[in-house]
Amino acid sequence: QSALTQPPSASGSPGQSVTISCTGTSSDVGGYPYVSWYQHHPGKAPKLLIYEVNKRPSGVPDRFSGSKSGNTASLTVSGLQAEDEADYYCSSFADSNNLGVFGGGTKLTVL
């Protein structure tokens, strides 16, 4: 069981938007502005999409956006494209271990 809770799956049609949630506690997601999101295509290294809740590294399309409310963070993928089909993981700094915790991952299917 992962420290952060994500839905195991999500789906949407091309062009639609989908939001993936990531629920933690006040000791991690809710207590710090340090949530990050990763896209993982099998066989490849995970890719950073969002850091510090809503910041995008250079090169990440603005179709990817992050937000947080209380103990739940969210990743929204707008204008879904076929290449967005992948696993998505959230992570947060956690004062329980002074390092961080991850979510269990969400498999996004583009219908």
Counting every residue written for the chain, the total comes to 111
105 part of the interface to other proteins, by CB under 8 A:
yes
The C-alpha atoms of residue 86 and residue 69 are separated, in whole angstroms, by: 25
DSSP-derived secondary structure for 17-69: -EEEEEE--TTTTTT-S-EEEEEE-TTS--EEEEBTTTB--TTS-TTEEEEEE
Task: Check residue 24 for interaction with other proteins (CB under 8 A).
Answer: no
**Choices 19-27, 30-38, 64-72, 74-82; region in contact with other proteins by CB under 8 A:** 30-38
Residue 7 makes contact with other proteins by CB under 8 A = no
Binding mask 33-72 for other proteins (x = CB under 8 A): -x-x-x------xx-x--xx----x---------------
Is 89 one of the binding residues for other proteins (CB under 8 A)? yes
